[in-house]
């Protein structure tokens, strides 16, 4: 066997694109230079009290806090008035909103088709009036912007380092599959029969209003498609190229059927899927964050198979899908003038590929590979974000394809989701909430992730997967101080410093704790407190949304809403959890481990000295800080003792989370770990921590070990993660097979590898084996990153953060940071030149 | 058995998810102590059988606690950092226990067989998925023969695939005792000329060559070892002679026929330069450039011609091309392996 040590890795470039797709892709990346874009257009009822910005949905994005007022004002200023139906103000809110959104997207927003595009459905980003009456507007303003309103409370929560919470749009998988097979016609008929079954009182009450609103929007996609159909016909008439003319006529024919009628071909199905999907973003006034597609390779497969049988070329299927890919990216145009991609690059319209089916069978099919090829040929591209579901029996061909893509993209252009561990979590939530009729052994494999990796069921589930983000570390701080902030808060805008007040429970003075158990008991109390505080904060925005921001179009696509005649924002979905995402997990565990080690085990300092050190941001306590960093045990090293405490921390906050339910909407809280970018930003908000971290340094990300502490490598890192999620049942009786998983929502996990792990076929096999091992021992989801020269240079500058970087050459081993500067430079040069 | 459980081995390091020490994903145990003293040794800290102290500059915060706590007054705090007076230092390890940053490090820790075995089986699932297991390397594991044997037995009992990485300078009787518990034998043949071998490593190669023949025969006549890989370090100006490869190849073909599954030529690398400095040792290869890729390929060609029936490969880093300013990818570059 020949060992080939070099590969000429270059920055990934798109490949194999037709001139059509190449043009569309290039055009997209011209950004603000484009003549066409999908920027928000704003629409008002024309009243002086109108509100056009549901700011609650951005409460989980701290970067927007200083912009909330400006955005709301500028959307109002830019808004164009819509001529209202004469009865408009006689209708209840949900019907007004339904009519208004429908009117805007069908009759006000222009329809366009880009050159060569095979799919219709261009502009969908809108900010529409919230359709308030004068009185409604006044109440909303007070509840949201009042002195003790939602905004002020949310800001206080974040300023003091607890995290953030808000009732957020998106983050679910609508019932797209069902809609393709029924068509809107079928949904419309269902809604009519539900409405007709209401008695007279119900019809005049909220149930009648809700169903009438849903009936109103159930023809929105049909009427929009009809506009696009006319456009295609007009374009065809003036189109000089015969080939393109035929395409436009087929598009018109597609649009005359779908999405109203059930789809009959692959092209129709993709066309219908796109329009149905983009209108969710229209309805929520929210560009796509977490509105996910689910298992597209499964539910599009019957159409793909039929069209292939009827003579569709495989490459043509890819051409249609590539147009779909371009369309999904236009979500980013929403705030295009704030920067090329608006405020955030994390929109996460997730597609799920492969995974288990019934009876433990693998569901990979030809469409799985078609879509992977589309991703490979289009990348780098942002949307839709792919998530490939792996399990113990994933086929070798799929793993080979995945590994090849990771190699050529210098990191995975998708997330990997692991079925067995994920399904154990879904079974747990079914058990906890008594939902065995909806989630059980026979259907749990139908789950799919939304956004990034948040596991939910499909078409009947909204579980608020990103709505609550709590810094577990705050409970450690409150334990040290007896329930107060360690540092007084200074407002960065005004420069004013607040005096420190009692906030959490008055647990005993930590300096009198005699044993570690004393500390732990107080920590338990403070953990309960911070979770209660988060739940209380969430209730504010959740109850306001339920009262003021119905989304009747989305409600049509989620089972339970029509049946109960209840909007999805009011808890209408059959499965309606809300998720509490724990942030700072490893920093919290490592801090607790350090307190135990420094104060109780080694007696290297007193509790008071430690608290003083943290208040001083470790200045003057460098030796103690070094001990905390280097001598105290850490989570993520497969050290059973440290991981046992990590497990205790996990069980405590999870048990506490399950105890809560929203009052306004009856949604049970469930636990997850997705830190999005908070672990970076909140590092500047939170005081120094006992693990040796200074204020301003990043916190730990989701379920990952703290930065740089996983010095035992990827397998130990994976083992620790699997253990703290609950590991496996010794008797084989876990929640799914022998697996346990305390986090039904899933846990974000990232591991960085050196590109050389994929340098030849035998090493690729080893990497594949790592993924298979991860399916057994690891967590629910994994992002694979590849080391780059930038990271190595950072390691030179901040060796303390990179103690885990191991340099290995046959017969030789050393940690990168212990190698001298000159040789470090040589290593960097090698990595650089292989990459560029 | 109790005696065995009491036994302690001196272990330099345990590396998990190693992809370079045998088939599949492996956990490699580096034993301390080696009967050879190869002048190019990449892991000089593994030569001495005794624990040793080292100081790592990049980890040090200059607190001086080590200087204060050293019972022998062997440490001084100078402008260059901490200097260890090797004549006085007894490698007692007190400073390493007190150092808050782990900049003072004790190379070589004592492990019992049950503790070590339960530590290294943690990646069992990854071994099973990859056809990997645990590699005993070093240093020279067979120098700690009883511990080595006990550990191999313990791992075999746990159903873990084992590999032994040996330099071959070991009494044949010991080899005979160990081999039944070894699945994969990684055997170094460095230099065919015994005089040169003695110059380069401190010992002649007679025992190494005869043990190779013994091991090959053992493999053919016993259930274990199942796999035999020969490894040859290609050291510039030392073992990298065409005639050395040619004659090693002839030896393999003639004396080890049918037993060798793979012959690997391992390119010299210089990343250990700072290890020598830290241990207060001189290293004759400090300024040595890496071999050219074409040169490694040329030697591999010679090797292949000698043993057409055996799989031959080369590994390691090669010299960076000086024309990299063009920005073109340099195909002659080897990749350093950095796992994290």
Left, alpha or beta for B150 (phi > 0: left; psi -120 to 50: alpha)?
A: alpha
Taking only residues 26 to 45 of chain B, the set having a beta carbon closer than 8 angstroms to any beta carbon of chain A reads 30, 42-43
Helix count and strand count (H, E) for chain A: 30, 16
Residue A790 — pLDDT band, cuts 50, 70, 90?
confident
- Better pLDDT: A491 or A9: A491
The interface predicted TM-score (ipTM) is: 0.92
Q: What is the DSSP letter of A736?
A: B
Contact: B336, A807; criterion CB under 8 Å = yes
- Whether residue B118 lies inside any domain: the answer is yes
Tell me which residue of B268, B217, B280 sits closest to B74, measured CA to CA: B280
Distance from CA of B176 to the nearest CA of A (A): 25
Q: Mark residue B94 as left, alpha or beta (left: phi above 0; alpha: psi -120 to 50; beta: remaining).
A: alpha
Answer whether residue B147 is part of any domain.
yes
Q: How many angstroms separate the CA of residue B229 from the nearest CA in chain A?
A: 12
Structural domain ending residue among the three candidates B91, B107, B123 = B107
Q: Enumerate residues 102 to 121 of chain B having a beta carbon within 8 A of any beta carbon in chain A.
A: 102
Question: Residue A344's pLDDT is what?
Answer: 47
Is-contact B125 A776, C-beta < 8 A?
yes
B331: in domain: no
How far is the CA of B140 from the CAs of A219, B144, B169, in angstroms?
A: 78, 8, 9
Phi, psi of A428 (to 5 degrees): -60, -45
User: How far apart are the CA of A378 and the nearest CA of chain B, in angstroms?
Assistant: 23
pLDDT for A409: 79
What value does the mean pLDDT take over residues A579-583? Answer: 97
Question: Does the distance separating the beta carbons of B125 and A814 come in below 8 Å?
Answer: no
Q: Which residues have C-beta within 8 Å of that of residue A42, sequence separation ≥ 6? A: A52, A75, A76, A78, A79, A80, A126, A127, A128
Put simply, the answer to whether A754 touches B339 (Cβ < 8 Å) is yes
> Residue ranges of the alpha helices (H) in A482-595?
516-548, 552-556, 561-564, 585-595
| B192 part of a folded domain | yes
**pLDDT of A83-99, one tens digit each?**
999 999 999 999 999 99
Find residues 5-24 of chain A whose CB sits inside 8 Å of chain B. Answer: 5-10
Distance from the B279 Cα atom to the nearest Cα atom in chain A, whole angstroms: 13
Q: Would you call A818 and B59 a contact, using CB atoms and an 8 Å cutoff? A: yes
Among B88, B107, B126, where does a domain finish? B107
Distance of CA A512 to the CA centre of its chain: 43
pLDDT category at A665 given cuts 50, 70, 90 is very high
Tell whether A33 is within 8 A of chain B (Cβ). no
Rounded distance between C-alpha atoms, residue A534 and residue A794, angstroms: 36
Same domain, B141 and B258: yes
In this predicted model, what pLDDT tens digit does every residue of A279-297 receive, in sequence order?
Answer: 999 999 998 778 999 999 9
Closest CA in chain A for residue B311: A1
Nearest CB neighbour to B125, from listed A766, A776, A827 = A776
Indicate the residue of B42, B56, B132 with minimum beta-carbon distance to A811.
B42
Consecutive H or E run containing A623: helix A622-630
Residues B62 and B168 in one domain: no
- A639, HSE (Cβ side, Cα atoms, 13 Å): 18
Q: State yes or no: pLDDT of A677 exceeds 70.
A: yes
In this prediction, residue A813 carries a pLDDT of 58
CA-wise closest residue to A505 among A488, A486, A481: A481
pLDDT at A812: 54
Same domain, B93 and B125: no
CA distance B24 to A770: 10
Residues A317, A309: contact at Cβ < 8 Å? no
Chain A from 693 to 732: CB within 8 A of any B CB: 710, 712-716, 719
Nearest-neighbour CA in chain B from A430: distance (Å): 29
Mean per-residue pLDDT of chain A: 93
CB contact under 8 A, B336 and A756: yes
- Res A800: pLDDT: 73
Write out chain B residues lying below 8 Å of A770, CB-based: 17, 25, 126, 129-130
Is the same domain home to B137 and B28?
yes
How far CA B242 is from CA of A253, B89, B254, B299, in Å, comes to 73, 44, 18, 6
| Residue A492 vs residue A502, higher pLDDT | A502
Residue numbers of the domain that contains B73: 52-107
Neighbouring CB atoms inside 10 A of B295's CB total 18
* pLDDT for A164 beyond 90: yes
Angle at A560 between CA A555 and CA A562, to 5 degrees: 60
User: Do B136 and B59 fall into the same domain?
Assistant: no
Could you tell me which of A444, A679, A662 has the C-alpha nearest to residue A585? A679
A186-196 burial, b for 16+ CB within 10 Å, e for fewer?
bbbebbeebbe
Q: Using CA coordinates, name the residue in chain B closest to A713.
A: B340
With CA atoms as reference, report the closest residue to A193 among A173, A175, A218, A176: A218
> Is B213's Cβ below 8 Å from some Cβ in A?
no
Do B273 and B158 share a structural domain? Answer: yes
DSSP letters, A330-348, are GGGGGGGGGSTT-S-S---
Smallest Cβ distance to A631: which of B100, B277, B329?
B100
Asked if the C-beta of B58 comes within 8 angstroms of chain A's C-beta atoms, the answer is: yes
When scoring B13, B229, B339 by the number of chain A Cβ atoms within 10 A, the one with the most, hence best to mutate, is B339
Judge whether residue A309 has pLDDT over 90.
Answer: yes
Model confidence pLDDT, tens digit, residues A356-374:
999 999 999 999 999 999 9
Across the interface, whether the CB atoms of B272 and A814 are under 8 A apart is answered yes
Q: Which of residues 775-834 of A touch B (CB under 8 A)?
A: 776-777, 787, 799, 804-814, 816-820, 823, 826-827, 829-831, 833-834
What is the pLDDT at residue A543?
98
Residue B333 lies inside a defined structural domain of this protein: no
Nearest to A816 by CA among A825, A827, A807: A807
Locus of tokens 């005649």: A565
Q: Which of residues 125-154 of B touch A (CB under 8 A)?
A: 125-126, 128-132
CATH of the domain at B77: 3.30.70.20
Same domain flag for B56 and B151: no
* Rounded CA separation B79/A761 (Å): 49
B130 contacts in A (CB within 8 Å)? Answer: 765-766, 769-770, 772-773
CB contact under 8 A, A814 and B271: yes
In A66-95, the residues whose Cβ lies within 8 Å of chain B are none
User: Considering chain A, what percentage of its residues have pLDDT values greater than 70?
Assistant: 96
Chain pair A-B, CB pairs under 8 angstroms: 218
DSSP one-letter string for A5-38 = -----------S--HHHHHHHHHHHTGGG-SS--
Looking at the DSSP bridge assignments, the partners of residue A806 are A815, B339
Q: Are strands B104-107 and B52-55 parallel, antiparallel or unpaired?
A: antiparallel
Interface residue of A716, A750, A808 to substitute, partner B, most B CBs within 10 Å: A808
Instruction: Tell me the residues of chain A between 573 and 592 that have a Cβ less than 8 Å away from chain B.
Output: none
Two structure tokens written together for A9: 């890795």
The CATH number linked to B271 is 3.20.20.70
Let me know whether B42 and B14 are in one domain.
yes
- The Cα A795–Cα A816 span in angstroms is 8
Is pLDDT at A655 greater than 50 in this prediction?
A: yes
Interface residue B7 vs chain A (CB under 8 A)? no
Inside any domain, residue B337: no
CA neighbours within 13 Å on the CB side: how many for B300?
A: 23
Residues of chain A in contact with residue B58, where contact means CB-CB under 8 angstroms, are 799, 817-818
Position B338 in a domain? no
Q: Are residues B292 and B199 in the same domain?
A: yes
Residues B72 and B193 in one domain: no
pLDDT at A834 over 60: no
Number of domains composing chain B: 2
Q: Are residues B180 and B317 in the same domain?
A: yes
Give me the pLDDT at residue A380, please: 81
Q: Is the pLDDT of residue A506 over 60?
A: yes
The residue of chain A with its CA nearest to that of B126 is: A773
pLDDT in the model for residue B325: 34
Touching check for B327 and chain A: CB below 8 Å? yes
Report the pLDDT averaged over residues A591-609: 98
Query: What are the tens digits of pLDDT across the range A791-821?
Result: 788 888 887 777 777 665 544 556 777 777 7
pLDDT over 80 (residue A776): yes
The answer to whether the CB atoms of B334 and A833 lie below 8 A apart is no
Q: Which of B76, B92, B107 is the last residue of a domain?
A: B107
Count Cβ atoms below 10 Å from residue A644 Cβ, excluding itself.
12
Give CA separation, A191 vs A210, A399, A415, A470, A740, in Å: 10, 44, 37, 39, 40
* CA distance linking residue A603 with residue A596, whole number of Å: 9
Tokens in use for A540?
């504010």
Q: Is residue B330 part of a domain?
A: no
Q: Are strands A415-418 and A385-390 parallel, antiparallel or unpaired?
A: parallel
Q: Comparing C-alpha atoms, which of B210, B119, B129 is closest to residue B173?
A: B210
More reliable by pLDDT, A835 or A341: A341
Q: Tell me the pLDDT of chain B (340 aa) as tens digits.
A: 455 557 899 999 999 999 989 999 999 999 999 999 999 998 888 999 999 999 988 889 999 999 999 999 999 999 889 999 999 999 999 999 999 999 999 999 999 999 999 999 999 999 999 999 999 998 999 999 999 999 999 999 999 999 999 999 999 999 999 999 999 999 999 999 999 999 999 999 999 999 999 999 999 999 999 999 999 999 999 999 999 999 999 999 999 989 999 999 999 988 888 888 888 888 999 889 889 989 999 999 999 999 998 999 998 877 765 443 333 333 333 333 332 2
Given a contact cutoff of 8 angstroms between Cβ atoms, the answer to whether B106 and B63 are in contact is no
Same domain, B74 and B137: no
Q: How far is A814 from chain B (nearest CA, A)?
A: 8
Q: Which residues pair with B30 in a beta bridge?
A: B13, B137
Distance of residue B218 Cα from the nearest chain A Cα, in angstroms: 24
Residues of A in Cβ contact (< 8 Å) with B262: 1
Q: Is the pTM of this model over 0.80?
A: yes
The model's confidence at residue A832, banded by pLDDT at 50, 70 and 90, is: low
Q: How far is B7 from chain A (nearest CA, A)?
A: 23
pLDDT category of residue A708 using cuts at 50, 70 and 90: confident
* DSSP output for A133-153: -HHHHHHHHHHHHSTTSHHHH
DSSP-assigned states of every residue in B184-227: EEEEE---S-HHHHHHHHSS-SHHHHHHHHHHHHHHHHSS---E
- Of the candidates A753, A773, A823, the beta carbon closest to that of B270 is on A823
Query: Is B6 an 8 Å CB contact of chain A?
Result: no
* Highest-scoring range by mean pLDDT, A67-71, A470-474, A822-826, B282-286: A470-474
Residues 6+ apart with CB under 8 A from A574: A438, A460, A461, A558, A559, A560, A563
Collapsing DSSP states into helix, strand and coil, what is residue A128?
strand
pLDDT 10s digits, A41-86: 999 999 999 999 999 999 998 888 988 999 999 999 999 999 999 9
CB contact under 8 A, B15 and A626: no
- Closest CB to B324: pick one of A757, A805, A833: A833
Would you call B304 an interface residue with chain A, using a CB distance cutoff of 8 Å? no
């Amino acid at each position: 066997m020949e060992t080939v040590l070099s590969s000429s890795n270059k920055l990934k470039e798109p490949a194999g694109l037709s001139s059509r797709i190449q043009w569309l892709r290039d055009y997209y990346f011209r950004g603000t230079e484009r003549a066409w874009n999908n920027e928000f257009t704003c629409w008002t009822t024309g009243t002086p009290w109108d509100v056009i910005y549901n700011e609650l949905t951005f409460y989980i994005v701290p970067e927007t806090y200083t912009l909330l007022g400006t955005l709301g004002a500028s959307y109002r200023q830019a808004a164009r008035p819509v001529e209202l139906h004469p009865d408009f103000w006689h209708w209840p809110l949900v019907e007004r909103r339904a009519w208004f959104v429908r009117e805007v997207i069908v009759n006000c927003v222009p329809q366009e088709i880009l050159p060569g595009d095979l799919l219709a459905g261009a502009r969908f980003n809108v900010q529409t009036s919230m359709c308030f009456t004068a009185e409604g507007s006044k109440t909303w303003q007070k509840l949201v912007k009042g002195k003790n309103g939602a905004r002020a409370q949310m800001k206080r929560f974040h300023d003091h380092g607890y995290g953030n919470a808000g009732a957020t749009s998106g983050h679910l998988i609508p019932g797209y599959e069902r809609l393709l097979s029924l068509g809107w016609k079928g949904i419309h008929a269902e809604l009519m029969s539900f409405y007709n079954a209401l008695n007279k009182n119900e019809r005049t009450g909220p149930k009648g209003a809700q169903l009438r609103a849903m009936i109103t929007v159930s023809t929105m996609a049909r009427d929009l498609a009809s506009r696009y159909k006319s456009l295609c016909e007009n374009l065809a008439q003036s189109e000089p190229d015969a080939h393109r003319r035929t395409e436009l006529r087929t598009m018109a024919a597609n649009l005359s059927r779908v999405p109203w009628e059930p789809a009959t071909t692959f092209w129709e199905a993709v066309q219908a899927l796109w329009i149905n999907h983009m209108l969710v973003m229209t309805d929520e006034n929210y560009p796509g964050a977490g509105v996910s597609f689910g298992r597209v390779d499964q539910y599009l497969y019957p159409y793909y198979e039929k069209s292939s049988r009827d003579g569709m070329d495989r490459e043509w299927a890819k051409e249609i899908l590539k147009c779909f890919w371009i369309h999904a990216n236009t979500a980013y145009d929403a705030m295009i003038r704030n920067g090329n991609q608006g405020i955030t690059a994390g929109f996460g319209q997730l597609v799920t590929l492969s995974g288990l089916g019934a009876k433990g069978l693998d569901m990979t099919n030809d469409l799985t590979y078609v879509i992977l090829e589309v991703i490979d040929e289009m990348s780098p591209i942002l949307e839709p974000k792919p998530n490939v579901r792996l399990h113990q029996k994933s086929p070798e061909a799929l793993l080979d394809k995945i590994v090849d893509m990771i190699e050529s993209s210098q990191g995975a252009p998708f997330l990997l989701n692991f079925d067995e561990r994920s399904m154990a979590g879904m079974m747990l939530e079914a058990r906890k909430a008594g939902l065995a009729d909806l989630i059980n052994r026979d259907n749990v494999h139908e789950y799919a992730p939304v956004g990034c990796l948040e596991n939910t069921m499909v078409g009947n589930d909204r579980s608020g997967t990103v709505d609550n983000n709590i810094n577990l570390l705050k409970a450690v701080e409150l334990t040290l101080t007896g329930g107060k902030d360690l540092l007084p808060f200074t407002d960065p805008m005004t420069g004013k410093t607040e005096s420190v007040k009692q906030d959490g429970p008055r647990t005993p003075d930590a300096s009198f704790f005699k044993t570690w158990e004393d500390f732990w008991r107080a920590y338990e109390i403070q953990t309960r407190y911070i979770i209660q505080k988060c739940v209380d904060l969430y209730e504010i925005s959740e109850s306001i949304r339920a009262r003021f921001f119905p989304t009747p179009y989305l409600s049509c696509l989620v089972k339970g809403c029509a049946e109960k005649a209840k909007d999805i924002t009011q808890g209408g979905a059959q499965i309606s959890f809300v998720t509490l995402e724990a942030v700072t997990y490893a920093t919290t565990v490592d801090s607790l481990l350090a307190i135990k080690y420094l104060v109780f085990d080694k007696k290297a300092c007193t509790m008071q000295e430690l608290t003083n050190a943290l208040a001083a941001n470790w200045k003057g306590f460098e030796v103690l800080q070094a001990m905390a960093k280097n001598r105290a045990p850490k989570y993520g090293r497969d050290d059973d003792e440290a991981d046992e405490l990590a497990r205790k921390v996990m069980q405590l906050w999870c048990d506490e989370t399950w105890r809560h339910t929203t009052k306004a909407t009856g949604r049970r809280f469930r636990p997850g770990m997705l830190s999005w970018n908070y672990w970076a930003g909140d590092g500047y908000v939170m005081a120094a921590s006992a693990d040796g971290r200074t204020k301003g340094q990043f916190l730990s990300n989701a379920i990952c070990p703290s930065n740089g502490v996983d010095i035992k490598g990827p397998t130990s890192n994976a083992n620790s993660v699997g253990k703290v999620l609950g590991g496996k049942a010794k008797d084989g009786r876990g929640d799914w097979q022998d697996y346990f998983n305390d986090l039904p929502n899933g846990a974000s996990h990232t591991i960085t590898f050196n590109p050389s792990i994929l340098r030849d076929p035998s090493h690729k096999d080893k990497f594949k084996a790592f993924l298979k091992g991860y399916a057994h021992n690891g967590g629910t989801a994994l992002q694979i990153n590849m080391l780059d020269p930038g990271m190595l240079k950072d390691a030179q500058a901040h060796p303390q953060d990179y103690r885990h970087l191991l340099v290995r050459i046959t017969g030789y081993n050393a940690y990168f940071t212990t190698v001298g500067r000159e040789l470090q430079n040589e290593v960097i040069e090698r990595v650089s030149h292989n990459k560029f | 058995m109790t005696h065995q459980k009491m036994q302690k081995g001196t272990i330099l390091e345990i590396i998990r998810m190693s992809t370079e020490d045998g088939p599949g994903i492996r956990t490699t145990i580096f034993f301390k102590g080696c009967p050879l003293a190869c002048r190019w040794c990449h892991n000089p800290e593994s030569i001495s059988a005794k624990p040793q102290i080292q100081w790592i500059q990049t980890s040090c915060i200059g607190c001086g606690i080590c200087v204060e706590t050293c019972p022998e007054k062997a440490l001084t705090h100078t402008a260059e950092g901490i200097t260890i007076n090797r004549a006085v230092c007894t490698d007692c390890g007190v400073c390493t226990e007190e150092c808050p940053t782990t900049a003072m490090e004790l190379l070589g820790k004592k492990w019992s067989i049950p503790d070590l075995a339960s530590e290294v089986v943690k990646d069992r699932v990854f071994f099973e998925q990859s056809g990997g297991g645990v590699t005993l390397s070093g240093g020279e594991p067979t120098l700690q023969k009883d511990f080595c044997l006990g550990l191999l037995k313990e791992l075999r009992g746990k159903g873990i695939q084992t590999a032994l990485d040996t330099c071959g300078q070991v009494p044949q009787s010991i080899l005979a005792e160990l081999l039944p518990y070894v699945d994969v034998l990684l055997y170094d043949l460095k230099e065919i000329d015994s005089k040169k071998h003695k110059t380069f490593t401190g010992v002649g190669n007679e025992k190494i060559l005869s043990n190779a023949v013994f091991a090959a025969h053992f493999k053919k006549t016993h259930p274990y070892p199942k796999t035999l890989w020969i490894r040859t370090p290609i050291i510039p100006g030392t073992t990298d002679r065409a005639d050395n490869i040619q004659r090693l190849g002839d030896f393999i073909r003639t004396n080890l026929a049918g037993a060798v599954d793979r012959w690997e030529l391992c390119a010299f690398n210089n990343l250990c330069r700072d290890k020598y400095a830290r241990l207060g040792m001189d290293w004759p290869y400090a300024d040595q450039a890496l071999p050219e890729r074409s040169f490694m390929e040329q030697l591999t060609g010679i090797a292949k011609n000698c043993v057409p029936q055996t799989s031959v490969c080369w590994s390691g880093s090669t010299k960076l091309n000086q024309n990299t300013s063009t920005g073109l990818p340099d195909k002659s570059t080897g990749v350093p392996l950095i796992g994290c």
